[in-house]
A and B are shown apart, each in its own frame.
Chain A
Amino acid sequence: MRDIHRLAVASVVLCLAAALPARAEVEYRAAVLRVDAPGPAPISRLDLVPEDLGFAGAELGTADNATTGGFMGQSFTTETIAATPESAEAEISRLLDEGVPYIVLLADAPMTLRLADLAGDRALVFNAMAPEDSLRGADCRANLLHVAPSDSMIADALAQYLVWKKWTDWFLIEGSHPQDQALAAAYRRAAEKFGARIVEERVYEDTGGARRTDSGHVQVQKQMPVFTQRARDHHVVVAADRAGVFADWLPYHTWDARPVAGSSGLVPESWHPAHEAWGATQFQTRFERLANRPARDEDYQVWMALRAIGEAATRTQGGDFAAIRDFILSGDFDLAAFKGQSLSFRDWDGQLRQPVLLSAGNVVASVSPQEEFLHQVSQLDTLGIDQGETECER
């Protein structure tokens, strides 16, 4: 199961460093550790998980860093590891023993926490997958930064748009998995924060079984209308389905003729293959040329984590671990990541503040924060847990 690739781009081949004063090359070693838990296949075969999920983003981030590093006398290597829940702890221990100081995790929330605690002060850990607010709140860690947007950022991004649209009455349907309930809690909080009302709530129980069956739509067409009938009057159905059990089946199957948002329909997420604004086309084409597939959230998030290290290496002119960590957490850090403004880490919980895309099928329909929602510090802080609300004690 252990699958290791080493991505190394030797900057010397670029032959571009000539114009800078000669100096010893500084090497930056990072690792991407993905913990693959066994689970059912997704509802749609379009969503089958590629084997290089996140790793392709790592390859691009490493290559981008190396191009800049070529001018700076810096080289970047990234080891990518696909682990199981059973092997993950041994893998991170090995990385720490080898002195890899920057570790990007693609794991669920409990595993992320466990691995971050194992790293302690030996590594700076980036959470590139788990969205749970608890990781940024009561369970926050000083060595753990979050490039994946939190549940509350995702929920707030959609809430702002729906309130702007004056679709303020929501029918919230949540799944029965813990991660669904965490997201649903974020939607409840977002409704209160932005003045929407949840007029009806239901739980869609995951009763197990395969999610893909031949002509499965026949039953779905009967079940979904029944499941959604007799809801109180609502403007929109909001689905909280992190586990991917039911939300894809909601559009066009609801009892009432209402749009669906959240886990399907109008979807708040950090990346979408159709996103083209603010130079994003360049990211998409670079990525697709390298991976032969569209980029997913995890790829973009890993890319951001590695670019944060690369940006800090550039700005600190080849700084060491302490310099890189301090710079990333400082007010001087900003990351350009095709979202139209600079991104930076919140010093109260280590969350990367970032706009959230609202995708609708083949297009990006909108981007939050919506301009009407103001903030005294940064408009990006209208998304997610603000300084005064945080439960994090770092």
Chain B
Amino acid sequence: MRLAILACCTALTAGPALADKIFVSNEKGNTITVLDSDSLEVIHTISGMQRPRGITASPDGKIIYVCASDDNLVRVYDAETYEELPSLPSGPDPELFVLHPSGNPLFIANEDDNIVTVVDVETRQVLAEVPVGVEPEGMGVSPDGKIVVNTSETTNMAHMIDTETYEIVANVLVDSRPRFAEYTPDGSLLFVTAEIGGTVSVIDPATNEITKKIEFEVAGVLPEALQPVGLRVTADGTKAYVALGPANRVAVIDVASLEVTDYLLVGQRVWQLGFSPDGRFLYTTNGNSNDISVIDTETDTVTVSVPVGEQPWGVVAVKSD
């Protein structure tokens, strides 16, 4: 399925390039802003949800899933027509989720209930509820789909959940208020950000040991403002980008050396990150300046910031049909 899409797109590159669509969830605005990736114009606004936060797309880019936290469900939209599809049960107060690499099921962190809810996106049935630590938040999935990682903000752990048995197979203690978990594409490293601890833990998934803690330092920025939240790794696995919250910066990490190579100034309170489908651009949601910044990943420069809705939270970009 995925190969077919790639082939199709390769065939199309001879013709006029098709723009991607960028979907941004606006936590306060209660909307999803849709932008055209070429013009960076707002082409549509989806409304009718309460407190949208986590946002992701199906592997084929046709379906958008949104954690509507105050609706206590996951809202589902057609990426092309913006039509709302039947919602998914989520458990109370869903904040972040991750889709299995196959496109099903969806693993949802329920902050209020100390559980991870597993939902079949086709039958819309809850498959399992996995008890985890206090205030589950970050969700990551290994590239082979065998392990889902949940971070619990008050317990300060990354819980490794077997995606077949739905049981916790390992717990790794990280720094305070872990927010986000992401593997490298080859599955050899797992990054976990800690917002209050101010670090990114690098975990060896084979041993579930922390091999390094990456720290941050920006001249003129208070150390307590350096709060790692969202994190994304490039498709080739060479670089990781870390949103540093109220420091208004995105850190660039060289994955080979695990050193910070650059800090990019973006909008205020940068929270989550999402790549363009081809990986050329990285979009950042800047909650306090109501905009997204666009980072060119070839040059690691911030090219532009674009206004979206009120308090943008999450972002996902998909190919247009």
Q: Which residues of A contact B (CB under 8 A)?
A: 14, 16, 18-20, 64, 67-68, 71-72, 279, 281-282, 285-286, 307, 311, 314-315, 334-336, 340-342, 378-380
Contacts and interface: CB of A to CB of B under 8 A. Distances in A.
A67 B155 contact: yes
Contact of B133 (A67, A279, A281, A341): A67
Contact of B224 (A311, A314, A379): A379
B197 A342 contact: yes
B176 interface: yes
- Number of chain B interface residues as a range: 20 to 34
Given A19-B170, A279-B135, A342-B176, A71 B224 contact: no
A19 B171 contact: yes
Interface secondary structure of B, over-half rule: loop
B155 A68 contact: yes
Contact of A341 (B111, B159, B224): B224
Nearest to A343: B196
A101 B288 CA distance: 44
B287 to A, nearest CB: 11
B128 to A, nearest CB: 15
B134 A336 contact: no
Contacts of A282: 93, 111-112, 135, 153-154
B249 interface: no
Nearest to B156: A314
A54 to B, nearest CB: 20
Given A279-B111, A336-B153, 14 more contacts: A14-B131, A18-B168, A19-B168, A19-B170, A67-B155, A72-B173, A285-B112, A286-B112, A311-B156, A336-B154, A336-B196, A341-B196, A342-B198, A379-B224
Contacts of B195: 336
Interface in B162-186: 168-171, 173, 176-177
B153 A342 contact: no
B222 interface: yes
Contacts of B155: 64, 67-68, 71
A310 to B, nearest CB: 9
Contacts of A341: 196, 224-225, 227
Contacts of B227: 341
B34 to A, nearest CB: 28
Interface in B112-154: 112, 114, 131, 133-135, 153-154
Contact of A71 (B171, B176, B198, B225): B171
Contacts of A335: 176
B131 A16 contact: yes
28 contacts: A19-B168, A19-B170, A19-B171, A20-B171, A67-B114, A67-B155, A68-B133, A71-B157, A71-B159, A71-B171, A279-B111, A286-B112, A314-B173, A315-B173, A334-B196, A336-B154, A336-B177, A336-B195, A336-B196, A341-B224, A341-B225, A341-B227, A342-B176, A342-B197, A342-B224, A378-B222, A379-B224, A380-B224
A7 B85 CA distance: 46
Contacts, number: 76
Given A16-B168, A282-B135, A342 B154 contact: no
Contacts of A16: 131, 168, 171
Given A336-B177, A342-B224, A379-B224, A67 B134 contact: yes
Given A16-B131, A282-B111, A379-B224, A68 B168 contact: no
B153 A279 contact: yes
Contacts of B114: 67
Contacts of A314: 156, 173
A304 to B, nearest CB: 12
B43 to A, nearest CB: 32
A334 B131 contact: no
Contacts of B133: 67-68, 71
A19 B133 CA distance: 14
B154 A334 contact: no
Contacts of B168: 16, 18-19
B169 A19 contact: yes
Nearest to A19: B170
Interface string B194-221: 0111100000000000000000000000
A-B pairs with the 9 shortest C-beta distances?
Answer: A68-B155, A336-B196, A341-B224, A336-B176, A342-B196, A336-B177, A71-B171, A67-B134, A64-B134
Nearest to B246: A340
